[in-house]
Amino acid sequence: MDGFFLWEESGYPGVALSTAERKAVIVRMEWTGKELAVWGSGNIGMQVMNAGREISPVYFIDNDAQKCGKTLCGRKIIHPSQISDWQGIFVLVALDHYAPVRKQLMQAGLKEGEDFLWYREWLFEKKEEELLEEEERFLQNVRETEHYMGSKLIFSDFLAFDKGVCDFVNRWKAREPNLVLCSEAGWLSGTAAREKLEIPVVELPDLLSHNQYLKKNDAGTGNREKEEYVQSKTYLSEAALNLRLGYPDMAEKYEYTVCFCADRVIREIIRCWKPSQIILWNAFYAFHFIIRHICMEKGVSVRYMEFGNIPGTIVVEGTGQMGESYPARYPQEFLELPVSEGEYAGAERLIRDLRIQRLNRNVQPRNDLQAAVRGKMAEGKPVIFYAGQNDNASGMQPYTENTRKFHSPVFTSSDEAAVYLARLCREMGWNFIYKPHPMMAAWCCIGTLPGNAAVVDQVDINDLIDFSDVVVTVLSTVSYIALIREKPVVMLGYTQLKGKGCTYEAFREEIIGEQIRNALENGAKDLWKRKHHFAVHTAQMQKYYGNPYRQGESAELG
């Protein structure tokens, strides 16, 4: 079977504009006489509207047909098929998953950098000198401000996506009133997103903004002193590698500037404000990895905050995340935590409701690509679906001894696992589907995959799971969605599911094929047992580990 790809992108998903070029595009956008349209009517579309710049789009564009006809910020939402004159508009793409929309716009005859622009390029237009000056001003403010002495500092960019987190934190503050957000989405200052939050907000320098960085065409990056300092510290050099691997289009050596400044900023915050605790939204970002190390060095308590594995929950715990979490570190101890018959029954109802409602962390695309996937599968042969994780935000990049111990004992990346599984499926005569994580799709090395691999993007994950016979992943929370949808799951890495009896575990390369075969042959027969174990696990996660968005208490273990 020939290779099958639902998109043709590989490498960097777009142009890399310099600061001067970005500013020129923005001027053209504002003065060209074209009408402005914003592609994306979700959280990021709202961010763009509230980013402190005066923009007035004529309408929003969205691929989701169910949104079309509705309004956002007083503007109508329309489907791309409703646009007859693409040359008469300038499109600002307000989506993180940029590559598929970029392709659509180019197919419509628009030129990137002239007729459309990614919102990240639109927002981040400072030179390195300006960023360093801003950092110096921030450090001076830290030294002169005493308002946050002894506070519990949350480091996160959740103002950029919210999804109920603001409400959760507002309720949390009733229990812990000295919470302060150190926001990594500073460009949202003074916006409606910030106004939803009832705790103080400290805007971090733009150098430390999540997903905002200087691109390859920006000159003047790099400093030997900073580079040597970062390379002399293991935790900083690993953080720098995390940045470089996560953002291949980053300006040369800019990662050293970011890590040097991050180290400096956090040390000064701890010295001046003496926080009683620091809470990190995702422990694996480079900046947060640095914070975590300095806190350990200085004896500052750290907790970890993230969306829970069960859709609709948030977790705050003290042990770690993913394979470093309490349920993964101590699987048997967690498994023995008691739940009542009523809690077990409640977990069964929740699982049933989640299956019916098809809930996920993200809104799933609605299109006809599922039929295209089915058409490429060899009839009568099992379908193995492999879901990749965001390597850069799950402890996989860079691959270290800690990764091997707590996260992925076999594979160093999503793509490496995909290549192995595709070859295995070819040998066994199984169909193979690989869906990279949305944040990794643009960098997916599709050229290294065997020809039998069907690589898909922008397909409803629920449909893919239902269509498949076995779901395989290293670390993705797709494993929970698959269990909710009653599919057998083979785990290649350590998550909160470790040792819970819900999945087939393959933590050594030599047993991967055996466990997938076991799941194929026994999946239906073992379904009742897996459902029981998963209901127990869900009840335990609900009671001891995760809390609904709109509940004030924050669960904590470890």
pLDDT at 447: 66
Least confidently predicted of 200-204, 363-367, 549-553: 549-553
Q: Cβ contacts of residue 22 below 8 Å, gap of 6+?
A: 117, 121, 122, 124, 125
pLDDT tens digits, one per residue of 58-79:
999 998 777 888 988 889 999 9
For residue 53, what is the domain's CATH number? Answer: 3.40.50.720
Determine the straight-line distance between the first and last CA of the chain, rounded to whole angstroms.
49
In this structure, the answer to whether residues 54 and 154 fall within a common structural domain is no
Which of 64-73, 343-352, 375-384, 538-547 is modeled with the greatest confidence?
Answer: 343-352
Assess if residue 325 is contained within a domain. Answer: no
In a domain, 498, yes or no: yes
Q: Does residue 143 register a pLDDT over 80? A: yes
Query: 57 and 157: one domain?
Result: no
SS3 for 521?
helix
Helix axes 254-273, 234-246, angle to 10 degrees: 130
- Phi, psi for residue 112 in degrees, rounded to 5: -65, 135
Select the more confidently predicted residue: 372 or 525.
Answer: 525
Q: What is the pLDDT of residue 27?
A: 52
Band (pLDDT 50/70/90 cuts) for residue 193 is low
Same domain? 427 vs 519: yes
**Res 481: pLDDT:** 95
The confidence score (pLDDT) of residue 10 equals 37
Domain assignment present for 497: yes
Domain endpoint, select from 57, 91, 123 = 123
Q: How many domains does the chain have?
A: 3
Are both 438 and 490 inside the same structural domain?
yes
Write out pLDDT tens, residues 97-130.
Answer: 777 788 889 888 998 888 888 887 776 667 888 8
Q: What is the pLDDT of residues 430-459, one digit of tens each?
A: 999 999 887 776 666 766 788 888 888 777
The CA distance from 410 to 258, in Å, is 31
Position 21 scores a pLDDT of 57
**pLDDT (0 to 100) of residue 102:** 85
Residues 375 and 356 in one domain: yes
Domain-located, residue 315: no
The whole-number pLDDT of residue 365 equals: 61
Residues 372, 226, single domain; the answer is: no
The mean per-residue pLDDT over the stretch 158-185 comes to: 88
> Does any domain span residue 349?
yes
Q: Note the pLDDT of residue 240.
A: 96
Domain presence at residue 329: no
Q: What is the pTM of this model?
A: 0.84
- As a whole number, mean pLDDT of residues 499-504 equals 97
Provide the pLDDT for residue 429.
96
Q: Which of 507, 505, 512, 468 shows the shortest CA–CA distance to 487?
A: 468
141 and 112 in one domain?
no
pLDDT (0 to 100) of residue 6:
44
Dist. CA 207–CA 171, nearest whole Å: 30
Which residue among 307, 324, 352 closes a domain?
307
Residue 344 has pLDDT above 70, yes or no: yes
pLDDT at site 552 = 31
pLDDT in tens, 206-265: 899 887 788 776 655 568 899 999 999 999 999 999 999 988 888 889 999 999 999 999
Is a pLDDT exceeding 70 seen at residue 176?
yes
* Neighbour-count burial of 278, counting CB atoms closer than 10 A to its CB (0-12 exposed, 13-18 middle, 19+ buried): buried
Residue 25 CA: distances (Å) to CA of 30, 91, 93, 94, 306 = 9, 12, 14, 16, 36
Give the domain range for residue 221. 128-307
Examine the domain organization and report whether 283 and 175 are in the same domain: yes
pLDDT higher than threshold 80 for residue 317: yes
Instruction: Examine residue 553 and state whether it is found in any structural domain, yes or no.
Output: no
> Are 148 and 232 members of one domain?
yes
Residue 56 and residue 196 in one domain: no
Residues 41 and 152 in one domain: no
The CATH number of residue 492's host domain is 3.40.50.12580
Smallest CA-to-CA distance from 484 within 458, 506, 461, 452 is with 461
Q: What whole-number distance in Å separates Cα of residue 402 and Cα of residue 386?
A: 24
Query: Tell me, what's the pLDDT at 250?
Result: 86
Domain boundary among 307, 325, 351: 307
419-428 long-range contacts (CB < 8 A, ≥24 apart) are: 419/448, 419/449, 419/450, 420/509, 420/512, 421/384, 421/386, 421/472, 421/512, 422/449, 422/450, 422/452, 422/453, 423/450, 424/512, 424/513, 424/516, 425/384, 425/452, 426/450, 426/452, 428/513, 428/516, 428/517
Q: What is the pLDDT of residues 15-70, one digit of tens each?
A: 555 555 555 555 555 545 688 999 988 777 877 777 656 778 999 999 877 788 89
- What local confidence, expressed as pLDDT, does residue 97 receive? 74
Asked if residue 4 has pLDDT above 50, the reply is: no
Query: Are 436 and 516 found together in one domain?
Result: yes
Per cent of the chain over pLDDT 70 is: 85
In a domain, residue 487? The reply is yes
Beta bridge pairs of residue 185: none
Mean of the per-residue pLDDT values of the chain: 85
